[in-house]
Structure 1
Amino acid sequence: MSNIKGPDIHDARRQAAHPEAADRTTPFREAVEGVVTARRQFLKNSVLAAGGIVGGLAGAASLGAPYVGTAKAAGTTWKIQTSWPGGVGLQIFKDWCATIEEKTGGELAFQPFGANDVVGDFQLFDAVKNGVLEAVNPFTIYVQGIIPAGVFLTSYPLGLRNPHEFDTFYYGLGGLEMARELYAAQGMYFVGPVHHDANIIHSKVPIRSVDDFRGRKMRLPGGMVAEVFQGLGAKTTVLPGSEIFPALEKGTIDVADYTGPAVNYALGFSQVTKYISMGPPGFMSLYQPVDIMDITVGMNAWNALSQQMKQFVELETRSYSLEHHAKIQKANQEAWKKFEADGTEVTRLTQDDVALMTEVAVPIWYKYANRDKPSARIFKTQLDYMMSGSLGYVTPDIVEGMELDL
Structure 2
Amino acid sequence: MLKTVTKTLAAGVAVTALLAGAASAQTTLRIQTHQGQSSSYGGAIQEFVDAVNLMSGGDLQIEMFYSSSVVPSAETFDAAVNSILDCDMTNGSYQAGKNKAFQFVSDTMGGYDSPLQYQAWVEMGGGREAVNELYADYNMTFVGAHVGGQESLTSTRPLAGVADLENWKFRAPPGMASDIFASLGAKPIVMDFSEVITALESGIIDGADASTLGNNLRIGTYDIGKHTNFPGFHSMAADHLACRTDVWDGLSERHRKIIEVAYQNVGMDLILQTLVDNGEALAKLPSMDVTTYNWSAEDRATFRAAAQKQWDVYGGETEEGKAMVASHVSFMKRIGLIQE
Q: TM-score band (shorter)?
A: 0.7 to 0.9
Amino acid at match of 2:318: D
Amino acid at match of 2:339: V
Per-residue deviation at 1:72?
Answer: 11
Segment of structure 1 superposing worse, 269-278 or 196-205: 269-278
Per-residue deviation at 1:89?
Answer: 1.9
Q: Which segments of 5 or more consecutive residues in structure 1 lack a partner in the other structure?
A: 1-70, 279-283, 396-406
Aligned equivalent of 1:194, options 139, 146, 157? 146
Cα distance in 2, alignment partners of residues 97 and 335 from structure 1: 29
Cα distance in 1, alignment partners of residues 272 and 242 from structure 2: 21
Aligned equivalent of 1:78, options 26, 29, 40? 29
Aligned equivalent of 2:136, options 184, 202, 207? 184
**2:109: which partner in 1?**
157
SS in 1 for 2:148: strand
Question: Aligned ranges for residues 2-401 of structure 1 at < 5 Å?
Answer: 74-85=25-36, 86-278=38-230, 284-288=231-235, 290-388=236-334, 390-395=335-340
Amino acid at match of 1:247: A
Per-residue deviation at 1:303?
Answer: 2.8
Cα distance in 2, alignment partners of residues 156 and 303 from structure 1: 29
1:248–1:273 Cα contact (<8 Å) kept: yes
Cα distance in 2, alignment partners of residues 363 and 100 from structure 1: 42
Cα distance in 1, alignment partners of residues 35 and 224 from structure 2: 24
2:314–2:321 Cα contact (<8 Å) kept: yes
Amino acid at match of 1:77: T
**1:63: which partner in 2?**
none
Q: Would the alpha carbon gap of residues 262 and 111 (structure 1) be closer, same or farther in structure 2, given more than 3 Å must change?
A: farther
1:206–1:275 Cα contact (<8 Å) kept: yes
Per-residue deviation at 1:246?
Answer: 0.9
Per-residue deviation at 1:309?
Answer: 1.3
Q: Which segments of 5 or more consecutive residues in structure 2 lack a partner in the other structure?
A: 1-21
SS in 1 for 2:242: strand
Q: Deviations over 1:88-110 (max 9, x none)?
A: 22222223323321221011111
Instruction: Output the TM-score relative to the length of structure 2.
Output: 0.87
1:134–1:298 Cα contact (<8 Å) kept: yes
Cα distance in 2, alignment partners of residues 143 and 92 from structure 1: 24
Per-residue deviation at 1:379?
Answer: 1.4
Identity of aligned residues (%): 24
Amino acid at match of 1:386: M
Cα distance in 2, alignment partners of residues 216 and 133 from structure 1: 42
Cα distance in 1, alignment partners of residues 39 and 305 from structure 2: 37
Q: Deviations over 1:218-251 (max 9, x none)?
A: 1111222111110111111111211111111111
Per-residue deviation at 1:274?
Answer: 0.7
Q: Deviations over 1:309-340 (max 9, x none)?
A: 11221222222211222123222222333333
Per-residue deviation at 1:73?
Answer: 10
Segment of structure 1 superposing worse, 184-193 or 159-168: 159-168
1:160–1:382 Cα contact (<8 Å) kept: no
Q: Deviations over 1:371-399 (max 9, x none)?
A: 111111121122223334x305234xxxx
Q: Would the alpha carbon gap of residues 142 and 94 (structure 1) be closer, same or farther in structure 2, given more than 3 Å must change?
A: same
1:270–1:344 Cα contact (<8 Å) kept: yes
SS in 2 for 1:256: strand
Q: Would the alpha carbon gap of residues 392 and 291 (structure 1) be closer, same or farther in structure 2, given more than 3 Å must change?
A: closer
Cα distance in 1, alignment partners of residues 89 and 23 from structure 2: 23
Instruction: Output the TM-score relative to the length of structure 1.
Output: 0.73
**2:11: which partner in 1?**
none
Q: Would the alpha carbon gap of residues 313 and 135 (structure 1) be closer, same or farther in structure 2, given more than 3 Å must change?
A: same
Amino acid at match of 1:393: I
Q: Deviations over 1:20-44 (max 9, x none)?
A: xxxxxxxxxxxxxxxxxxxxxxxxx
Cα distance in 1, alignment partners of residues 26 and 55 from structure 2: 13
For these two proteins, the number of residue pairs brought into alignment is 320
Q: Would the alpha carbon gap of residues 153 and 261 (structure 1) be closer, same or farther in structure 2, given more than 3 Å must change?
A: same
Cα distance in 2, alignment partners of residues 232 and 116 from structure 1: 35
Cα distance in 1, alignment partners of residues 53 and 289 from structure 2: 45
